[in-house]
Amino acid sequence: MAAIGVLGAGTWGMALARMLCNMGHDVQVWSALPEEIDVLMATGKHPKLAHMELPEDLGYTKSIQEVSGNKDILLFAVPSVFVRSTAKAVCPYVADGQVIVDVAKGIEPGSLFTLTQVIRDELSRRQELSKVKLVALSGPTHAEEVAVDLPTTIVAACEDLDAARRVQSIFMNPKFRVYTNDDIHGVEICGAFKNIIALGTGIARGLGYGDNTAAALITRGVREVARLGELMGCKPDTFNGLAGIGDLIVTCTSKHSRNLTCGMLLGRGKGKEEAIREVGMVVEGIYALDAAMELKKKYQVELPICEAVDAIVNQGMSALAAGEALMERMGRQE
């Protein structure tokens, strides 16, 4: 069995911590918010996963040094905007050869790094950490379902397939099937951009559009993300697999999707801050928009769905006007 440190006590981190602990692994959870640890230890419950029972032998700590030391796996389960600060904090305690698994999804504005690249960038400040293995764990997954052992599939992606297979062997169980892929960049691009497409799908729902529109946005969304990914050197097959179309479908259709819900609120006329507040959790698609617009400019690629969502979220265009402009643009594409 493996010793696993979980960085982050949100819904996804805790759903995975519970699953791994129930598999017999030695799991310890850390949060940047000490009060979160206090609540979890006192109640054995996560406030946003009411149906999830946490194992009694699940460990907790308020020390980032303790959670980072002597672990077979370090699991980054913090929101994308906190990945760099968390990587900086753990850097002094990481051993060379450490396997780090990131389950957050996003692109860092400015650097345009994927999140494993952000972690690598921080760890590179210690030259002796050249052998650290970074794996992206991504796919069509909602914490609410993993928390109650509903069947789920996911992709462990790493350029070093041996590292991906190591993660596969630790996380795999009869209800949680893990596939491997060496196109880590493609998998992470899929994970970041599907949230934006889900925002767009939610906006369409909020405007009163139906299933036909949602299907169009999902299908054209796959092509939009793949078009960018191919220019970035990613493998086309990645976008047609679990990390691509699979994750896009679940995020654009599920009642558990924060991005879909936020989009619906935007489509009904709510402002960005009000919509995020009503969702009550991190909406990663909002944070991914700036990077998407930077990548559009860098690669000179058309991203009509992302552009329409950005126009609504960041430029104040009405959802109806942006939606009509998007439908007109999509009608002219191949």
Contact predicate 27/58, CB 8 Å: yes
Task: Report the mean per-residue pLDDT for the chain.
Answer: 95
The b-or-e profile of 240-264 (16+ CB within 10 A means b, else e) is ebbbbbbbbbbbbbbeebbbbbbbb
Amino acid residing at 42: A
- pLDDT of res. 167: 98
Contact predicate 262/283, CB 8 Å: yes
Mean pLDDT of 212-232: 95
pTM over the 0.85 mark: yes
- pLDDT of res. 330: 67
Going by their DSSP bridges, the two strands 26-30 and 59-61 should be labelled as parallel
- pLDDT of res. 323: 77
Candidate list 194, 235, 255, 298, residue with the active-site label: 194
270-319 residue pLDDT tens: 999 999 999 998 899 999 999 999 999 999 999 999 999 999 999 988 88
Structure tokens at 257: 């999707």
| pLDDT above 60: residue 108 | yes
If one counts every other C-beta atom within 10 angstroms of the C-beta of residue 117, the result is 19
Question: How far apart are alpha carbons 1 and 192 in whole angstroms?
Answer: 31
Q: What is the percent of the chain with per-residue pLDDT over 90, rounded to a whole number?
A: 92
- pLDDT of res. 333: 55
| pLDDT above 70: residue 22 | yes
Q: Is 194 labeled as catalytic in the residue annotation? A: yes
Contact predicate 104/115, CB 8 Å: yes
Contact predicate 134/169, CB 8 Å: no
Which domains, and CATH codes, for the chain?
Answer: 3-182 (3.40.50.720), 191-330 (1.10.1040.10)
Question: How far apart are alpha carbons 51 and 40 in whole angstroms?
Answer: 14
138-184 residue pLDDT tens: 999 999 999 999 999 999 999 999 999 999 999 999 999 999 999 99
Hey, which residues does 196 pair with through a beta bridge?
Answer: none
119-141 residue pLDDT tens: 999 999 998 888 999 999 999 99
Structure tokens at 159: 């350029």
Question: How far apart are alpha carbons 102 and 187 in whole angstroms?
Answer: 12
- pLDDT of res. 321: 86
| pLDDT above 60: residue 332 | no
Per-residue pLDDT band at 105 (split at 50, 70, 90) = very high
Q: Give the torsion sign (CA, 115, 121, 123, 128).
A: positive
- pLDDT of res. 33: 96
236-283 residue pLDDT tens: 999 999 999 999 999 999 999 999 999 999 999 999 999 999 999 889
Nearest partner of 152 among 128, 176, 129, judged by Cα: 176
